[in-house]
Amino acid sequence: MALTTGFTLSDWQQHYRQQPEAVLTTLESVLDALSTEDNAWIYLATPAQIRAQVEPLLAAWHQDPSSLPLFGVPFAVKDNIDVAGWPTTAACPAFSYQAAADATAVANLKAAGAVVIGKTNLDQYATGLVGTRSPFGAVKNTFNSDYVSGGSSSGSASVTARGLVCFALGTDTAGSGRVPAGFNNIVGLKPTKGWLSATGVVPACRLNDTISLFALTVEDAFLAASCAGGYDASDAYSRRNPGLAPAALPAAPRLAVPATLEFYGDVQAQAAWEKAAAALQAAGATLHPIDFSAFHQLAEQLYYGPWVAERTVAVGTMLDRPEEMDPVVYGIVASGHNYSAVDAYKAEYLRAELSRQIQQTLSQFDALVVPTSPTIHTLEEMKLEPVRFNSQFGTYTNFTNLADLSALALPGPFREDGLPAGITLIAPAWHDRALVTFGQRWQASQALPLGATGRPTPTAHIALPSSSLHVRVAVVGAHLTGMPLNHQLTSRDAVLVEETTTAACYRLYALAGTTPPKPGLAKDRDGAAITVELWDIPLARFGEFVAEIPAPLGIGTLALADGRQVKGFICEPAVLAEATDITESGGWRNWLARKETPNV
């Protein structure tokens, strides 16, 4: 195997920092270690295709290394996503075509420096959660070859879990980016619909498809998604992030959990979940049982109702050639002809009603947590009940895209038989970053191996890139934690980042006649460092927050002790003559404490 097996993104960055010129020889060695006999792959790059991707990178690297955060990092692409000049099969050889252009997400990743090493196996037309419905063969579980890998993104999950690539693209309509993550002990990021463009993706259910990310670590999945995503006018369903979601989940989140969990008699899956629930509570989360009936009802719509006709549309004329299709996939997709336009409209009305119930339920919590899958089955068992067992795998995934939710599948405590289990966090659209912040803490706390590589998970997580969708605000007085106006931040999903101090060039004043009492901060070269709290507030809520600030206060730019500059409270100089200079206290909280205990 290549020396780079199991490399995380930080490992790759360190490797190339020392020897960027070795990018071609490094990737050639990665390619040499891969085998076409490994049915997780449908297509492997040729040496010429690797060179064609690498040669432009070196010139760009020497000009501006910071523009290539994924420089030389190999990744895999599910074979229902286009790579220019390569075949796209969707695991149906009769459907195969030569892609004229990269899918937008692939093009974005290449622009960030990543290199496509191969295309991966899948349940045909991305129809299934099992990884067995492919003419290229069933992809086996990376921990026990008797068991399924999960699907439909089976190959992408397998090559990631084994550390053959740093990350891989999958797709996720009903759980295809989460179930195989859970079955293979890796991270599966199911982004908000519309964040990653679907241009260049063979549709399964166009209204509910999204490209997903597999990685060994949470931060690698998020950074890859951040590079791959963005608004794309060529995709009619692409959309811009409105900047309303929190930057992080609280350190002690309130997590909804189904009041009754179904494991279909799998006592080992249930025991693994109970260990995970205990670990969540030990880490400070509180679990709140909820009525899960609306979620279950919505999940059933995806395959047992008119929504299946979306798959019928996607497959098109291939239905005229049933002998060229997997028989289980054909049976599912052909059933879409059983529904009328009237049925479809009724199904959409029901989806909207159930989604509204789900959104209202989730608004009371920071996220929902569920088992990624309630059970797992062997390859032989799947042959006996291919549809029923597939449906079981989707119990806690099928509703997510129908309800326009974001999701993150995380490794969790293993089953007693040595198989991975995993948990999934689910939240409203555009909460992807918030889920990732929780996922980082969770993954660092679990001491699990990275996928199936045997490598330990790093205990120190990598800082996420700064967010352009949040404003970092320094508060100095009545908006501090526990103070009377703190609710103006928390009610707008602002998240506390840290307590720190300003640069030593400010003076703090207790203003006269303000209700509630407030301080004023003014820049002064003879000043001192003043204690502040930093909060990240969603960009779209920042204007509302500023609108509530009364004169003589306002928002300007503050300098912090470590050189950072952030938005923060400032005060009009005209009122300071009547204010009390309290700079010597070092902060508003200190001054209030001294007022209350003047003899101390």
Identify the active-site residue in 78, 110, 140, 567. Answer: 78
Cβ proximity of 289 and 259 under 8 Å: yes
**CA 127 to CA 275: how far, in whole Å?**
32
How far is the C-alpha of 81 from the C-alpha of 324, rounded, in Å? 20
Q: Which of 103, 66, 347, 119 is nearest to 228 (CA)?
A: 103
Give the pair of three-digit tokens for residue 355.
């989604």
Q: What is the chain's Cα-based Rg?
A: 26
Residue 458, preceding peptide bond in cis (omega within 30° of 0)? no
Q: How far apart are CA 90 and CA 325, in angstroms?
A: 11
For the question of residue 595 being annotated catalytic, the response is: no
356/452 Cα distance (integer angstroms): 39
Catalytic residue among 110, 119, 140, 152: 152
Residue 548 has, within 13 A of its CA and on its CB side, a CA count of 13
What is the rounded CA–CA span in Å between residue 361 and residue 405? 13
In terms of DSSP bridges, do strands 470-475 and 531-538 run parallel, antiparallel, or are they unpaired? Answer: antiparallel
Chain length of the chain = 600
Q: Is 78 among the residues known to form the active site?
A: yes
Which position among 154, 176, 197, 212 bears the catalytic label?
Answer: 176
Q: Is 275 labeled as catalytic in the residue annotation?
A: no
**SS3 annotation, 159-217:** HHHCCCCCEEEEECCCCCCCHHHHHCCCEEEECCCCCCCCCCECCCCCCCCCEEEEECC
Q: Is 432 in contact with 243 (CB distance < 8 Å)?
A: no
3-class state of residue 355 by DSSP? helix
Write out the DSSP string of 205-273: STTT--EEEEESSHHHHHHHHHHH----TTSTT-----S-S-SS--SS-EEEEESS---TT-HHHHHHH
Which residue spans within 455-564 are E strands per DSSP? 470-475, 495-501, 506-510, 519-523, 531-538, 553-559
In this structure, is the dihedral angle defined by the CA atoms of residues 33, 36, 37 and 41, taken in order, positive or negative?
positive
d(CA 299, CA 208): 12
Catalytic positions: 78, 152, 176
